[in-house]
Amino acid sequence: MSQTVTTVSTSRFGEISYSEEDVLFFPRGIPAFEKNLSWILAGEEDNAIKWLQSVDDGDLALPVTTPDAVMADYNAKIPEDDLDLVGSRNVGDLVLLIVVSIPESAPWDTTANLRAPILVNLKSRRAVQVIALNEEYPIRCPVFPEDVRENMKLSATMKEGV
């Protein structure tokens, strides 16, 4: 089997090399980025936040994590239509990612979009951002509890002071 390695120049990671099988294909793109169909998941070993990096636009990346980092008993109900789109109803083939929004000047206010998880079929590597049927799931769910946020704020101001 031949493996073509492609390199993309990104603003976050510099040059990233990836092969065809690393690519996650979003047949519908991602809402707001409908033209960007091919993405790779990039990131470092020791951080639970990974980055969906567009392979067509090196400047475009979305931070993502797994839902259980934000909500322990996360149980998104996925419309059948979307399961068909990624081509599997087998739970073992499927994984969910959650888009997180990290305000640059206030990372303690990071929120996660629990309402619209990204459904990935690990086998076919097809993916789609879905609207979960769970109406109670917020689009902007604070990631950090109040005390953690206070601590983060405090240490940020201390760093500035140094």
Give contact residues for another protein (rule: CB under 8 A): 10-18, 21-22, 30-33, 40-51, 53, 59-63, 65-66, 68-70, 79-81, 84, 95, 97, 99-104, 107-108, 110, 113, 115-116, 120, 122, 129, 131, 139-140, 143-144, 152
Angle CA 142–118–113, to nearest 5? 15
Query: Smallest distance, Å, CB 81 to another protein?
Result: 4
Angle at CA of residue 121, ends 143 and 27, nearest 5°: 95
Measured from the CB atom, is 2 or 12 closer to another protein? Answer: 12
The answer to whether 97 and 142 are in contact (CB under 8 A) is no
Say how many CA atoms lie within 13 Å of 149 toward its Cβ: 13
Q: How far apart are CA 129 and CA 85, in angstroms?
A: 11
Nearer to another protein, 92 or 161 (CB): 92
Smaller CB distance to another protein: residue 37 or 100?
A: 100
* Least CB distance to another protein at residue 105 (A): 9
d(CA 47, CA 45): 6
Closest distance between another protein and the C-beta of residue 75, in Å? 14
Shortest distance in whole angstroms from residue 144 CB to another protein? 7
